[in-house]
């Protein structure tokens, strides 16, 4: 397998697959303990060999080196999970495993054709042109891999001319290898042999021999369909995913992580808790928010709007469609057309579903002349956008066709960039902190080779972003040349309860759209100048962020977010009328309460636990007589008996503090 340049590799990878193991950008190298969060700067992370963590959101525990203490301060057994970046040995193992798997497949299925097989974050995969595989086939392939590993065959590097490589490939009748060879620009061509039995185009690295691989540290995980070079017009291939580690202990820790991730899968929990659905009768990738999910969204939106209004933003609502000319001016039709839906005809004029909100906000800015005294102007919108996605790329709430962005734009002067960026960072910290996200990975991306704007403004903007990050005290990594063509940017990934990192927040300086739309302000000399435009999102999209929250909390939402905050349970129907009166009182105070009856009390309690209701209020004859409630907390256990007014006060205080009872 040839080692290719990053852009070339991306062009070859089948990015549109019919099945995906994990959501895009979900898994990184972090697999920490479920009740501990670790520094993203560490080259290693740690994971417990077994977990006793509650399914509720984890509390941060301080980490030192490769060990961390639990909340009680006790040490637990841990397994260090290295990464491809931190362990070259692991990378070599995974790369070699891809070759060993391909060799095993072609031994068992002689008519199969190989394509590419890279290592990935948690293992490796290889794509084959062959008949569809089953789980039974995977077991056969793994057994053959074990035989190859036991033979301890050497991995031998050979350099050949391009002509020699082509002749060998043609002799094997491997058409995909010929395509790969054509794209390799470096010479000589390198080949790696496994003993004298199998070879592939590759630049390495590999282990010295197959015996260096621990058989019990390798597992084949799944098979999926994937188009050759990511093009749906090309042949559908069989992609086999595998994972490989340095030891069986590491594999077991990784498997535990996977099981926990499966338990938290937002698609399953969304169905079990009746939060949302994707109705195929309406179309794939279109989200239906059920009453419980809609309540959570309502709380999210209210909190988001309140914070933005406090921070000096004006709220907007803009249309879902616009004349196609608007998207020509913005450049989307030229550079983003493949992600946009076909235009619709409205009275012989083409209209377009919006893929982004930016042009709309610019039109609002442009409606009147602005003075430099008016700036900065901050506008924000929870705007629904629509983007074309192939069905094979859709994944629950993480990859959809219609979603609502928490979008905002700031129009400011050059010397205001730093303060505005710092304000965005503060707002981001406040919003994400509500959900317990306090561990971030921050990247600053600078000017790429191709860009718009003068050297002076790029330098000023980049320095402003750096200064804002330094003022904030956040550590960050500089991605030289990784900025957008229209300006530098800051990207922030949050770390969830399983240590997975999710790209959510972004802050981007834009020199391009103000030019394209010819927006201006009048300076102190009454001259027209171009404002700086800052794009920013904190949550990313409500749908995707909701999916992240479901998995982070394992569906066990904190009190302030829970769709039902308390469930009132009568011991018998004799207490039902009082329960309804209490529920009415709680609702009038803004507390989400419901009465459940018709079952024996133990069953009612189990149902409430299953539905992850934070608080239960049990009502028997004594409670009715004394006008009280006996409270049971999902997290704290029995809280005793108290007057209704006291219960209301406790809930309201906890919701205000975003704490639990």
The residues assigned a catalytic role are 358, 387, 405, 407, 409, 489, 535
| Separation of alpha carbons 494 and 534, rounded Å | 21
CB-CB neighbours of 328 under 10 Å: 14
Q: How far is CA 333 from the centre of its chain?
A: 27
| Separation of alpha carbons 468 and 474, rounded Å | 9
Tokens, residue 462: 């980049």
Show the CA angle centred on residue 634, arms to residues 633 and 639, nearest 5°: 20
Could you tell me if 648 and 589 are in contact, meaning their C-beta atoms sit under 8 angstroms apart? yes
CB-CB neighbours of 430 under 10 Å: 13
Task: List beta partners, residue 243.
Answer: 219
Could you tell me the CA-to-CA distances from 63 to 44, 189, 225 in Å, in that order? Answer: 12, 46, 40
The DSSP secondary-structure symbol of 304 reads H
DSSP secondary structure string, 386-426?
E----GGG-BTTTB-SEEEEEEEEEEE-GGGHHHHHHHHHH
| Separation of alpha carbons 349 and 321, rounded Å | 12
| Separation of alpha carbons 505 and 442, rounded Å | 10
Nearby residues of 445 by Cβ (< 8 Å), 6 or more positions away: 478, 479, 481, 482, 483, 484, 488, 489, 490, 491
Question: HSE-up of 540 (CA within 13 Å, CB side)?
Answer: 21
| Separation of alpha carbons 414 and 423, rounded Å | 15
Could you tell me the CA-to-CA distances from 77 to 37, 46, 67, 69, 261 in Å, in that order? Answer: 16, 10, 9, 11, 20
| Separation of alpha carbons 628 and 18, rounded Å | 56
CB-CB neighbours of 429 under 10 Å: 17
Residue 383: name the closest of 336, 427, 321, 318 by CA. Answer: 318
| Separation of alpha carbons 509 and 424, rounded Å | 12
| Separation of alpha carbons 159 and 163, rounded Å | 12
Most distant CA pair in the chain: distance in Å? 94
CB-CB neighbours of 347 under 10 Å: 5
Residue 412: name the closest of 312, 493, 299, 344 by CA. Answer: 312
H or E segment and range at residue 176: helix 175-183
Q: Where are the alpha helices (DSSP H) in 264-416?
A: 266-272, 291-310, 324-330, 332-335, 358-366
Tokens, residue 301: 């939106």
DSSP secondary structure string, 494-525?
EE-TTS-EEEEEEEEEESSHHHHTT--EE-TT
Only one residue has tokens 């239906």, namely: 288
């Amino acid at each position: 397998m040839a080692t290719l340049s990053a852009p070339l590799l991306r062009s070859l990878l089948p990015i549109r697959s019919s099945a995906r193991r994990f959501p895009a950008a979900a898994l990184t190298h972090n697999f920490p303990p479920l009740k501990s969060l670790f520094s993203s700067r560490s080259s290693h992370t740690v994971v417990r060999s077994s977990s006793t963590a509650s399914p509720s959101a984890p509390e941060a525990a301080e980490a030192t080196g490769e060990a961390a203490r639990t909340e009680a301060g006790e040490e637990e057994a841990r397994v260090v999970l290295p990464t491809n970046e931190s362990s070259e040995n692991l990378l070599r193992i995974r790369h070699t495993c891809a070759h060993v798997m391909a060799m095993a497949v072609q031994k068992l299925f002689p008519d199969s054709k190989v394509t590419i097989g890279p290592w990935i974050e948690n293992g490796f995969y290889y794509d084959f042109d062959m008949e569809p595989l089953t789980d039974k086939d995977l077991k056969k392939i793994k057994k053959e891999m074990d035989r190859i590993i036991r033979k301890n065959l050497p991995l031998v590097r050979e350099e050949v001319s391009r002509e020699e490589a082509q002749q060998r490939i043609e002799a094997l009748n491997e058409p995909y290898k010929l395509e790969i060879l054509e794209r390799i620009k470096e010479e000589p061509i390198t080949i790696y042999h496994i003993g004298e039995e199998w070879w592939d185009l590759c630049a390495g690295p590999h282990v010295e021999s197959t015996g260096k691989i621990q058989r019990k540290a390798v597992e084949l995980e799944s098979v999926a369909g994937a188009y050759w070079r990511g093009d749906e017009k090309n042949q559908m291939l069989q992609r086999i995913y595998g994972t490989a580690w340095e030891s069986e202990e590491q594999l077991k820790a990784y498997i535990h992580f996977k099981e926990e991730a499966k338990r938290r899968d937002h698609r399953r929990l969304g169905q079990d808790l009746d939060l949302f659905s994707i109705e195929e009768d309406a179309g794939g990738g279109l989200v239906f928010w059920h009453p419980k999910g809609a309540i959570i969204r309502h709380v999210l939106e209210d909190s988001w709007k309140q914070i933005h209004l406090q921070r000096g933003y004006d709220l907007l609502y803009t249309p879902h469609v616009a004349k196609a000319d608007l998207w020509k001016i913005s450049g989307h039709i030229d550079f983003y057309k493949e992600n946009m839906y076909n235009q619709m005809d409205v009275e012989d004029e083409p209209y377009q579903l919006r893929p982004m909100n930016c042009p709309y906000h610019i039109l609002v800015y442009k409606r009147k002349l602005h003075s430099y005294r008016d700036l900065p102007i901050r506008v924000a919108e929870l705007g629904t956008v629509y983007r074309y996605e192939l069905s094979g790329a859709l994944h629950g709430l993480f990859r959809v066709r219609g979603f609502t962005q928490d979008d905002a734009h700031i129009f400011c002067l050059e010397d205001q960039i730093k303060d505005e960026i710092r304000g965005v960072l503060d707002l981001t910290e406040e919003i994400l902190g509500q959900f317990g996200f306090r561990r971030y990975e921050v990247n600053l991306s600078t000017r790429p080779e191709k860009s718009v704007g003068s050297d002076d403004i790029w330098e000023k903007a980049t320095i402003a972003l750096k200064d804002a990050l330094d003022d904030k005290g956040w550590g960050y990594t500089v991605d030289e040349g990784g900025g957008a063509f229209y300006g530098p940017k800051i990207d922030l990934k949050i770390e969830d309860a399983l240590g997975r990192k999710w790209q959510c927040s972004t802050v981007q300086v834009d020199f391009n759209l103000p030019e394209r739309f010819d927006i201006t302000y009048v300076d102190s000399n009454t001259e027209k100048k171009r404002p700086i435009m800052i794009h920013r999102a904190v949550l990313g999209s409500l749908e995707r962020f909701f999916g992240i929250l479901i998995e982070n909390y394992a569906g066990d939402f904190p009190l302030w977010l829970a769709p039902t905050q308390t469930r009132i349970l009568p011991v018998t129907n004799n207490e039902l009328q009082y329960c309804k009166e209490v529920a009415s009182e709680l609702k009038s105070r803004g507390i989400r309460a419901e009465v459940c009856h018709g079952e024996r009390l133990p069953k009612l309690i189990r149902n409430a636990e299953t539905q992850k209701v934070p608080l239960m209020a049990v009502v028997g004859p004594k409670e009715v007589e004394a006008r009280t409630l006996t409270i049971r907390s999902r997290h704290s256990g029995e809280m005793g008996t108290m007057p209704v007014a006291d219960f209301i006060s406790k809930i309201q205080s906890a919701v205000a503090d975003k704490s639990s009872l």
